[in-house]
Amino acid sequence: MLHALKEYADSIGLSAEPGFKSKEVKWLILFDDKGKYTNVQRIGEGKAGVLYERCPHLTQPELKSGGAGCRHFLVDGLDVIVLRTTKGDADEKLLKKHVFFVDMLRNASSAEASLEGISKGLADESCLKKIGIDLDGFTPKAKPGDLATFAILGANAEGHQTIVQNDSWHDWWREFRVSLSQKKKVAESRLCFLTGVDAAPASTHPKITGLASVGGMAAGDVYASFKQASFQSYGLSQSENAAMSEDAAKLYTTTLNNLIREKSERLASSRIVFWYSGTKEVPAEFDPLQLVLGGSNSKDDDAGQKEEAPPSDREVAAAHLSARKLLTSIRSSDRADLLNSTYRAMTLSANSGRVVVRDWMEGQFEDFAKNIDQWFEDLRITKRDGSGIAPDPKFLAVLGGTVRDLKDVTAPNEVSLWQAAVRGSPIPSHLAACALARFRIDLIQDRPTRHAQVSLLKAFLIRLKKEGLKQMPELTTELNEQTDNPAYVSGRVLALLGQIQKKAIPSIKVGVVESYYASASVSPGLILGRLIRTALIAHLPKIKPDPLRKWFDNQLSGLIGILNESPKRTLTMEEQTLFALGYYQQRAKRSNSVSTGAEATESTEDES
């Protein structure tokens, strides 16, 4: 994985020099060319600041080597730069940091002359007070931890020049870092794990940022960490156990941070970091990963809400059509550049300040596109009202079909389903069992069935059949009236019984489906016979007009005939899934009833 990160960094020419780090700055403190403070500006949009790629930065060991108050240079928090606090006056510890920061600016003025006047201003109590008053004039107010830096007015057409964007101070900064390293004990030279070159291993590695939403720390998390003695060998300490030069450690962390920021998507409890090699950028509308994560833009959120406007056939299958178009273009001369390219994807989360790599994938781009195309094909299902094909579901909608709420998703389950989508692997039975349980609960509580949930059940069965693990009937997008599979037909029977009861007694609140689905889906041989007798005696005779009653009677007789003998006494989990699919597709079917030369069209019961 680390070598793949290095390869990517080399391919895009990413700079990862130790001592430099990208930082998001929210405030510019402006001085004129004579060193006089003028004003302060809030930069960036919304809550975000401006990202400066090459800001000076010290690691924690370097800060310790610098002595009391040692701080970063040129870019720091408002607390350090102008002594901004939320608890009155600055304490002694903060004052030492401020003095160190100002001294750094003064010393660096030998390389960047404008820093001399800035250092004098920050050493002046009246200047600090004026900056504080100006900061108070902003809404929302500046926080002590907000990063700030400096600019000189009148230096360019924009009206100012931000000093951190100059390179005049770079050599001075490099020499300062060397002086700190001379105070540290230098580790014995070892073979670098990443480059294979002898080098002094870094005692600690820079942190990985951007994982706060998936269990990480706001300040960042460590990729390679050896804090406990049980993880250390041969008397080595900290990251010397995974020996890597400072340059190599900086390279992989900078690259991964860049990918998390620019090329990653959050799932439920983890983040997917992805990139491609051997090709130029893939347009977002043809990016297989974006297709599986984005799915349809339909306003149907798969939680039972009706769409404001029916999508067109093209919108319904937008993701699937794009995946098919991409696959076709790869195999033709249109996108021949993608044929030999590869994809790479890491699934990351964090725990207790440490990065957790939950999965790693790499392979040929063509295989990737093929698997995504098959993913949508397997998920393809009719809408619950029978009005057409349901929109291509987003990955999170499919994942959400297995739980009550997305926050209940466990990382292993998330990774398992992700592998099924991207690698084309079978869908784990425990995930299908979870989706089946939620499907059952929704029916019993009379809630609309979720399209993505049924799609997952269908895909589970299709992949079981493909692997030859189970004997399965032909599984289609809409109702399969040709199959005689007992489990599937039993599900159809229960759906029809529910429709018959609803037509006979429209005001009924709790019907046979809500009352008996759970038991009928497990033991249809014990339940359906009794329900069929009740329908024949108590429900069918009440249905008007006669052609509709005869239509229902014929439908029920036909299904009973398909079952031949009694329904299966008990069903396995896979058969219960077939039962659910038969039930759903029967309910979604739009039917025509015809009798004695008169035609009456009747839709199946609404599930709204």
In a domain, 469, yes or no: no
In a domain, 396, yes or no: no
Indicate the residue among 179, 203, 237 that finishes a domain.
Answer: 179
Helix 411-423 crosses helix 429-444 at what angle (to 10 degrees)?
Answer: 110
State the amino acid at position 302 in one-letter form: D
In a domain, 587, yes or no: yes
**56 and 152, same domain (yes or no):** yes
**What pLDDT does residue 280 have?**
63
Give the gyration radius of the chain's Cα atoms: 33
Lowest mean pLDDT among 103-117, 128-142, 285-299: 285-299
Is 0.75 topped by the overall pTM? yes
**24 and 173, same domain (yes or no):** yes
Residue pair 214/410 in contact by the 8 Å Cβ criterion: no
**172 and 245, same domain (yes or no):** no
Distance from C-alpha of 370 to C-alpha of 366, rounded to nearest angstrom: 6
**171 and 215, same domain (yes or no):** no
Indicate the residue among 179, 206, 229 that finishes a domain.
Answer: 179
Mean pLDDT on 108-117: 95
Question: Is pLDDT larger for residue 228 or for residue 500?
Answer: 500
Domain that residue 198 falls in: 185-262
Domains identified in the chain, total number: 3
In a domain, 408, yes or no: no
The residue behind tokens 């500046």 is 142
Q: Is the pLDDT of residue 301 over 50?
A: no
Judge residue 86's burial from the number of C-beta atoms within 10 Å of its C-beta, 0-12 exposed, 13-18 middle, 19 or more buried: exposed
**57 and 189, same domain (yes or no):** no
pLDDT-based confidence at residue 44 (cuts at 50, 70, 90): very high
**36 and 132, same domain (yes or no):** yes
pLDDT-based confidence at residue 593 (cuts at 50, 70, 90): very low
Note if the bond before 524 is cis, omega within 30 degrees: no
In a domain, 275, yes or no: no
The residue behind tokens 């466990």 is 410
3-class DSSP state of 148: strand
Lowest mean pLDDT among 36-50, 111-125, 325-339: 325-339
**What pLDDT does residue 332 have?**
75
Q: Is the pLDDT of residue 169 over 90?
A: yes
Mean pLDDT on 351-367: 92
pLDDT-based confidence at residue 295 (cuts at 50, 70, 90): low
**215 and 163, same domain (yes or no):** no
Indicate the residue among 179, 198, 215 that finishes a domain.
Answer: 179
Polymer length of the chain: 608
**485 and 568, same domain (yes or no):** yes
**127 and 240, same domain (yes or no):** no
Q: Is the pLDDT of residue 254 over 50?
A: yes
**33 and 159, same domain (yes or no):** yes
Structure confidence by residue, pLDDT tens digits, 537-574: 999 999 999 999 999 999 999 999 888 765 678 999 99
The residue behind tokens 């600016």 is 105
Structure confidence by residue, pLDDT tens digits, 464-518: 988 776 678 899 999 999 999 999 999 999 999 999 999 999 999 899 999 999 9
3-class DSSP state of 33: coil
Mean pLDDT on 194-220: 88
pLDDT-based confidence at residue 66 (cuts at 50, 70, 90): confident
Mean pLDDT on 218-227: 85
In a domain, 128, yes or no: yes
pLDDT-based confidence at residue 36 (cuts at 50, 70, 90): very high
**Average pLDDT, rounded, for the chain:** 86
Distance from C-alpha of 83 to C-alpha of 96, rounded to nearest angstrom: 11
**What pLDDT does residue 26 have?**
96
DSSP percent split of the chain into helix, strand, coil, nearest 5: 45, 15, 40
Structure confidence by residue, pLDDT tens digits, 425-463: 999 999 999 999 999 999 999 899 999 999 999 999 999
Residues above pLDDT 90, as percent of the chain: 60
Which of 225, 264, 255 is CA-nearest to residue 346?
Answer: 264
For residue 128, what is the enclosing H or E element?
helix 125-136
**111 and 218, same domain (yes or no):** no
In a domain, 20, yes or no: yes
**230 and 129, same domain (yes or no):** no
In a domain, 403, yes or no: no
Q: Is the pLDDT of residue 28 over 50?
A: yes
CA dihedral 455, 460, 463, 469 (to 10 degrees): -160
pLDDT-based confidence at residue 590 (cuts at 50, 70, 90): low
Q: Is the pLDDT of residue 283 over 80?
A: no
